[in-house]
Chain A
């Protein structure tokens, strides 16, 4: 794992002092709320319906157990004893006092963490594959590249007042587990014909009200030029991105309006210029970072066999664990989606428990996933049963990864000032209603957003739910057929919306139709893709018509 040196620490410490001073000037009135707003946002502090919300950066989702423990302690000390893990691989606290925010940042800095650029119109926290360093199918560990991006983008003087927020993701395997093409810049580490590593650049993806899948604009950028290339992509955007309408301000709109060819041409021109400016960190810096992401000291004689005699354990292994590149090891996902629970929420005790388990069983490391779960990336198979028993005893043993209960949901109207509808209660009801059929249904990614901003990724759900406001009443639209990953697609709206109970019923009808019509080992998405919208629609709306 990456460890700060004195330079990284100095920057983060300076930030704490900086923010403390900004809060002081806000509280003594020398700064207006309007002037303070973008500053606090660049520190992840939102003013929400009931209180301030603080979003803490978890770069590429990776945490040490000491960092994880601190997240639990902060939940107790400054919040109401819980935290919310988000689709951005970060954690949010919902009940924060402005006066205390500088102290939270100081506590975070003591474990090499911060909230820098977790919101605001700047380059946000870079996300990555939650199985990085463990995945059997990866070319290399993508995190060193993400760390280099973290450093380059931190307090970037030219790109801190962009037209809109800017999100980057880095992956290094063909299976995309980070929704890479739904980011402003998605980078895939690839090997060219000559055997060299480099970056494929996808630019202009995003969700929100105009979802778009990022086109490939360059197949191969050499590793000693990719920061410069990123800088060129950003400079064209900062200069020409739309600032007249905040709904058209994301880079996806610029790429779309200019056309991929013209945007690329401008980037290449800027890139040629920037190459003369020597702004690229030397490869030695990448090597320095890489040296901190080497494999942990695996036990070479760890047995590969697993005792599956406990059926509940076997189910959890089948659903929540994935193959590790090291024989004898496995990557295990802790589901934060118990039946009827609030997706992504964990209590301070649970957070500290997971921290302890990461230390004991996973080389001191855990990960936050964009599906709002926690991964223990390197667990010896012989330890797995004991680990699972400890999780299960703490209410963390739910065996539903990527199933209908593993719902992604945004905070919605329970917390969010932009929401049209509540997301959390809908997630809870669906989770309860579908629990009995969950294993039979198998893989089904269900995602809920409380408004068009799409924080809950509803466009990318096999089943997506979007909260809308219909004449002052909460209403929910249903979408089918979205998917992130290698075969990224966007969902289609089924038809008229539903009320809260109606949407739960509609989800059940859609899944019942799937179960009745699936062929062989088809997933819900496969059946939908084979049959198309029409029969699903008929099944979903049939009863309403008959009534």
Chain B
């Protein structure tokens, strides 16, 4: 179940299929990436994708962060959902990598999650989330990304 969603469009109803079946079902609009899947394999199909789920079977496996950023860097604007072992203290990092919805397998405490996502007012790196890194503020460089 999606617990947090930071988009205003209608959620996609289609179930997310595996990367393998996505290759065969030319009309699928939702896909699920496992940690070992190559996100760049999806790049030729971005225009028909409305939802990409990135699975975190264990929160310690950080490959999904790279998958997310790679997709956003390539211009993907659809929903990017983190699913699986998604915990409070990873949410802020995930948002920075381009995730805009979260379906943790165990429901999170909403107050803790919101506090964790709001805690860091400053960031050192530009990513795909459009936040200005500290160096841009220091040198009067405008909004990044």
Residues of A within 8 A of B (CB): 5, 7-8, 10-11, 14, 17-18, 21-22, 25, 30, 35, 38-39, 121, 151-152, 154-162, 235, 238-239, 243, 273, 277-279, 281-282, 284-285, 288
Contacts and interface: CB of A to CB of B under 8 A. Distances in A.
A21, A158, A278, A282: residue with the most chain B Cβ atoms closer than 10 Å: A158
Contact of B62 (A11, A30, A161, A281): A161
Interface in B112-145: 112, 115-116, 119-127, 133-135, 137-139, 141, 144-145
Given A10-B121, A161-B65, A235-B66, A39 B89 contact: yes
B138 A162 contact: no
B126 A279 contact: yes
28 contacts: A7-B122, A10-B122, A11-B122, A11-B124, A14-B119, A14-B122, A21-B112, A25-B88, A38-B60, A121-B60, A151-B134, A154-B124, A155-B93, A155-B120, A157-B96, A157-B125, A158-B65, A158-B69, A158-B93, A160-B65, A161-B65, A243-B61, A243-B63, A277-B73, A282-B135, A282-B141, A284-B139, A288-B138
A240 to B, nearest CB: 9
A238 B134 contact: no
A147 B137 CA distance: 18
A11 B125 CA distance: 12
A282 B135 CA distance: 8
Nearest to B112: A25
Interface in B87-122: 87-90, 92-94, 96-97, 109, 112, 115-116, 119-122
Contacts of B125: 152, 156-157, 279
Given A25-B112, A151-B124, A7 B63 contact: no
Contacts of A21: 112, 115-116
Given A14-B119, A157-B96, A158-B69, A238 B62 contact: yes
Interface residues of B, number: 41
A530 B78 CA distance: 66
Contacts of A152: 124-125
A282 B92 CA distance: 25
Contacts of B97: 157-158
Contacts of B138: 5, 7, 285, 288
In order of increasing CB-CB distance, the 10 nearest A-B pairs are A161-B62, A157-B96, A157-B93, A7-B134, A281-B135, A285-B135, A158-B65, A151-B124, A7-B122, A10-B122
Contacts of A273: 73
Interface of B: 35, 59-63, 65-66, 69, 73, 87-90, 92-94, 96-97, 109, 112, 115-116, 119-127, 133-135, 137-139, 141, 144-145
Nearest to B121: A10
B59 A17 contact: no
A361 B92 CA distance: 45
Contacts of B123: 155
Contacts of B124: 11, 151-152, 154-156
A157 B73 contact: no
Contacts of A288: 138-139
Contacts of A17: 119
Nearest to A283: B139
A378 B92 CA distance: 43
B112 A30 contact: yes
Contacts of A278: 126, 144-145
A17 to B, nearest CB: 7
Contacts of B96: 157
Contacts of B62: 121, 158-162, 238
A142 B8 CA distance: 48
A285 B137 contact: no
Nearest to A156: B125
Nearest to B133: A281
Contacts of B35: 243
A95 to B, nearest CB: 26
B122 A285 contact: no
Contacts of A279: 125-127
A284 B126 CA distance: 16
Contacts of A281: 133, 135
Nearest to A8: B134
Contacts of A285: 135, 138-139
Contacts of A38: 59-60
A5 to B, nearest CB: 7
Given A35-B87, A158-B65, 16 more contacts: A5-B138, A7-B137, A14-B122, A18-B116, A21-B115, A35-B59, A121-B62, A151-B134, A152-B124, A157-B94, A157-B96, A158-B69, A160-B65, A278-B145, A281-B135, A285-B135
Contacts of A157: 65, 92-94, 96-97, 125, 127
A251 to B, nearest CB: 14
Q: Which of B65, B109, B126 has the most CB of A within 10 A?
A: B65
Contacts of B127: 157-158, 279
Given A14-B119, A238-B66, A161 B109 contact: no
A239 B63 contact: yes
Contacts of B141: 282
A152 B93 CA distance: 14
Nearest to A122: B62
B56 to A, nearest CB: 9
Nearest to A151: B124
B82 to A, nearest CB: 12
A281 B125 CA distance: 9
Contacts of A160: 62, 65, 93
B93 A238 contact: no
A164 to B, nearest CB: 11
